[in-house]
Structure formats: structure tokens, C-alpha cells
């Protein structure tokens, strides 16, 4: 099962501000939707709560340390651990890929074992309080780069040793 990180990041590394994404890009939202549709999306509790409602057509997996946490939606599952979420997807959902969709806390942990990064590199700087975590780019190889009007989608594959 392929583990794919999806993120949109400004030129200065910002991904969030005050609990939301500090820009609105219709094209990037469309790209995100077509990429992830039909597959599980894994996210931190804060990111899920920023969405207001689950992403349609996808199993929404929320990671929280709160063992009592439940949401009243059939398409939402809560796990207390990222690895438990991965195991559930491979054993029960039997999907070929899952998408890790943020935020920073979850990216930081997921990067260690992710296979692919889909980075929407916005063409502008942004003010914000949440940054995409530092990572060793030497371990990643750029595979494709597609230019959109205000951003480029860059796909990186983990280098094989
Ligand atoms: N630009 C983008 O592509 C993008 C994508 C996604 C999100 N964002 C932005 O990123 C910001 C949110 O990011 P964030 O880093 O603050 O929060 P986050 O990663 O969305 O969620 C953090 C929460 O996840 C849970 N968690 C983290 N590690 C865990 C672990 N090892 N085990 C169990 N639970 C764990 C905890 O939930 P509990 O507190 O419930 O225990 C923690 O408070 C928002 O501004 C959002 O809009 C941007």
C-alpha cells in the first residue's frame, strides 16, 4: 500500500494560519479532489476540525490521542496512532494507496515512511503560524512537475538505495 503525502506550501514554507489554509486556490482544490477521490485520507484532529465536515467519497481517518473522541459520521474513523491507521487501511480496506493530508504534526511523523510526496508549490509567500516540517530533500527524487496558473504540483518519489 502506497503512502502518499499531499501538501500545499507557500514559497516561505507556510501551510497554515489560525487553523486554516491562508489562501484559496480553486485549481489546487480540484487537483486535491481528483487525486484523493475514492481513497482513504489520513489527517490530524486539528486538520479534520478545520474542514467542518468530512471530505466526500473518501474514508476520513482522524488521528488523535483522545481515546474518547468520536464523530457522528459513518465515513469518519478515529485512530490513536498513525501505524494503527495504516494497518487498518491495508488489512480491512485493502486499498492500493492512502493519502496523508496534514497538518504539520502528522506530516512530520508520516514523512519517515511515506513513498510519495505531492507538493503543490504556491507561487507566492504567505503569512502563517504552521510550517511544512523540515525534511531531507536528498532522499527524494523529483518525478514530475506540472505548472498551473498560481502554483506547480511537484511529485517526489523516495529514492531507492
Ligand atoms: N496547506 C496544506 O496543504 C495543509 C494541509 C493540512 C492542514 N493544513 C493546516 O495545518 C494546520 C493544522 O496542523 P497542525 O500541525 O496544527 O495539526 P494536525 O497535524 O492537523 O493535528 C494535530 C493533532 O493530531 C493529533 N496527533 C498528532 N500526533 C499524534 C500521534 N502521534 N498520536 C495520536 N494523535 C496525534 C493530536 O490530536 P489531539 O489533540 O486530539 O490528541 C494533535 O493535536 C491548520 O492550519 C491547517 O489548515 C494545511
132 Cα–ligand 1 center, Å:
11
pLDDT of residue 20 exceeding 90, the answer is: yes
The model's pTM:
0.98
94 Cα–ligand 1 center, Å:
25
Using a pLDDT cut of 70, give the percent of the chain over it. 100
Contact in structure between 117 and 8 (CB atoms under 8 Å): no
161 Cα–ligand 1 center, Å:
31
| Residue 160: predicted pLDDT | 84
Q: How far is CA 152 from the centre of its chain?
A: 16
Query: What single-letter DSSP state applies at residue 160?
Result: P
Contact in structure between 100 and 110 (CB atoms under 8 Å): yes
Q: Is the CB of 47 under 6 A from ligand 1?
A: yes
Contact in structure between 100 and 119 (CB atoms under 8 Å): no
Architecture of the domain whose range is 2-158: 3-Layer(aba) Sandwich (3.40)
Amino acid at each position: 500500500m502506497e503512502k502518499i503525502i499531499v501538501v500545499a506550501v507557500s514559497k516561505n514554507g507556510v501551510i497554515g494560519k489560525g487553523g486554516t489554509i491562508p489562501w484559496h486556490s480553486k485549481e489546487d482544490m480540484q487537483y486535491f479532489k481528483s487525486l484523493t477521490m475514492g481513497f482513504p485520507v489520513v489527517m490530524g484532529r486539528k486538520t479534520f476540525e478545520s474542514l467542518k465536515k468530512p471530505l466526500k467519497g473518501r474514508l476520513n481517518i482522524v488521528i488523535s490521542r483522545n481515546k474518547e473522541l468520536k464523530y457522528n459520521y459513518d465515513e469518519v474513523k478515529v485512530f490513536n496512532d498513525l501505524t494503527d491507521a495504516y494497518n487498518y487501511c491495508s488489512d480491512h480496506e485493502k486499498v492500493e494507496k492512502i493519502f496523508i493530508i496534514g497538518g504539520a504534526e502528522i506530516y512530520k511523523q508520516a514523512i519517515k515512511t511515506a513513498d510519495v510526496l505531492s507538493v503543490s508549490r504556491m507561487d507566492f509567500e504567505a503569512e502563517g503560524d504552521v510550517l511544512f516540517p523540515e525534511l531531507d530533500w536528498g532522499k527524494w527524487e523529483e518525478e514530475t512537475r506540472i505548472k498551473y496558473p498560481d502554483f506547480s504540483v511537484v511529485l517526489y518519489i523516495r529514492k531507492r538505495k
